[in-house]
Amino acid sequence: MIRGYRAVLDAGRMGVGFVAYVTVGLGTHTKAAQEAFERAIARAEEVRECHNITGTVEYLLRVEAADLAAYKHWHTEVLGVLPQVRSITTFVVMGSPKDERA
């Protein structure tokens, strides 16, 4: 039943000052497009979580970066150039009064 243990890391001490949830819509809804997108996201160290979801978009990502400039670079130069990506919406985390991930 226990799948593992986690350490709760201090984001600030790790150089993470910017956290966002990002929704991503794909341009085509094929298995090949999803697999290619997921392979690219698996290589992106800024992406801490990737969830395939239902609704108007296909993915919800939790992204951590050093600051807004670092996020903008990732958004534009990594995520934005993936050929599968049709839409990107960013929700910036301003605070987390409840976070039980760890």
**The pLDDT value given to residue 36:** 98
Burial of 84 from C-beta contacts in 10 A (0-12 / 13-18 / 19+): buried
Top-tier CATH class for 14-92: alpha beta
Q: What is the pLDDT along the chain (102 residues), one digit of tens a residue?
A: 888 888 878 888 888 899 999 999 999 999 999 999 999 999 999 999 999 999 999 999 999 999 999 999 999 999 999 999 999 999 999 998 998 876
**Cα–Cα distance measured from residue 99 to residue 102, given in angstroms and rounded to the nearest whole number:** 8
Nearest C-alpha neighbor of 48 from the set 5, 16, 96: 16
Structure tokens belonging to residue 77: 């130069």
Global model pTM greater than 0.85: yes
